[in-house]
Amino acid sequence: MAFHGDRLVDDALSNSNSATAFRIGRGLASAFRGKAVLETREGEFDPWLYASSGDCTVEPLPKVHSQFSTGWAGPAKGAWTRPETSWLAIRWRGHSIVVLRASWTEARWDRVTSRWVIADSQATARAFFLAVTEWCHVPRREILTFNGGCWSKSDELYEEIARSSFDDLILAGDLKAQIRGDFERFLASRAEYARYGVPWKRGVLFLGPPGNGKTHCLRATIQFLGVPCLYVQSLQSRYETDDSNILKVFKHARTLTPCCLVFEDLDAMITLANRSFFLNQLDGFAENAGILTLATSNHPERLDPAILNRPSRFDRKYHFELPGPEERLDYIRLWNGKFERPMRISKKEERQLASETDGFSFAYIKELLISAMVRWMASREPGGMRAIVDEQLAVLREHMRSEADATKSRERIDGMLTHVRAPTA
């Protein structure tokens, strides 16, 4: 390579009084005379990821230093590598293309990353940019998550969702059949919506106290739908307002339709300050065609009536209450069937335990059985599981009483503070 690539970047980064991106771009134009130079800060422009599609080959450019940061993702995943400053030689559809990626810090803490595409013509550079970003934009074996004001891809969440299904989900009565049937009909009705000129969209709320199957049902639904999923974890960020982040979320969802847009713990995200803007975006009638909005709430009483009671926003609401005797028995049988034979309790003991766990959520029953399993593994005594379960049952009941007392105390204090702050007539 005839040009001095390392010196070009070093000179730009060392001069803090000038616009770094401009200096690098000017240097590239000089080094690659007769070539087109296209700059982008688009985070979804990732040639390394695009190369996995088989549409291009990517190699570090020889004789030019590329700097990579490396970390460890654990025994199962091994090491990850991320380029910080890299020069890439790319072959794409018969074209030879060079891509430079550089990162630097501005304003003391703001990390900036820019990329430059150098090609024979502006048309080639632009076509390659579009091909890469369009391919990277669609989540494949990952879920898009929104947190801290930006999107990232989570393969861990994707794997959790891939393991979820309606088959091992236990809910009261015919609730599971209702939910699954509702989504089956919705997916099958796209043409009918279009025939009547109605935007094909849906808003669904899963409501109820924690530990009763909302998250499992949510993930089973995402798996069942089989469309790209955008998972909003928080609307707060350091440098941007909630409103700007809400706009980011809905704008991105509109480019991925049909897709599933998830707000878990919606009551914790939507505040008095951002509620109006959220509702405006949710109401985008034609704009939101193809978006299936799923939201959960442990505290539906905290949701504004404008969210909870307006049919055109969330037109389906499913309530997840504490399991009844038959649901508890089914859940206990499900877990007991997973245990090795010497650990299992009898069918009679299953029914007794279902009766004794009145008031328990699925999460508490799971905690009961897993904690008993861990204790049983210390002795491995055949037939000894029932006695251990009884001991753990007493521990969990006491914990539930303490938790209930703490909740009542918090509610009483909140009520007193509300009374103190209330305006006088």
Helices (H) and strands (E) in the chain, counts: 16, 13
> What pLDDT is recorded for position 406?
67
Residue ranges of domains in the chain: 5-137, 154-319, 325-412
Residues 332, 221: contact at Cβ < 8 Å? no
- Model confidence pLDDT, tens digit, residues 109-127: 677 889 999 999 999 999 9
Cα distance between residue 234 and residue 285, in whole Å: 24
**16 falls in which pLDDT band (50, 70, 90)?**
very low
More confident: 231 or 399: 231
What pLDDT was estimated at residue 61? 85
Q: For the domain 154-319, what is the CATH code?
A: 3.40.50.300
Q: Which residues pair with 261 in a beta bridge?
A: 230, 293
Using 50, 70 and 90 to split pLDDT, how confident is the model at 424? very low
pLDDT band, very low/low/confident/very high, at 312 (cuts 50, 70, 90): confident
Please indicate, yes or no, whether the overall pTM of this predicted structure exceeds 0.85.
no
Question: Does residue 15 have a pLDDT over 70?
Answer: no
Nearest-angstrom CA–CA distance, 379 and 239: 55
* 75's tokens: 């025994």
Taking residues 202-227, what's their average pLDDT?
94
Task: State the average pLDDT for the chain.
Answer: 87
Residue 418 pLDDT:
47
> Alpha-carbon distance 288 to 282, whole Å?
8
What tokens does 328 get?
């508890």
Q: Which amino acid is at 421?
A: R
- Taking CA atoms, 59 is separated from 10, 39, 47, 283, in Å, by 22, 20, 10, 47
CA 145 to chain centre: 4
Contact 331, 365 (CB under 8 A): yes
- Give the pLDDT of residue 250: 95
Q: Are 21 and 9 in contact (CB under 8 A)?
A: no
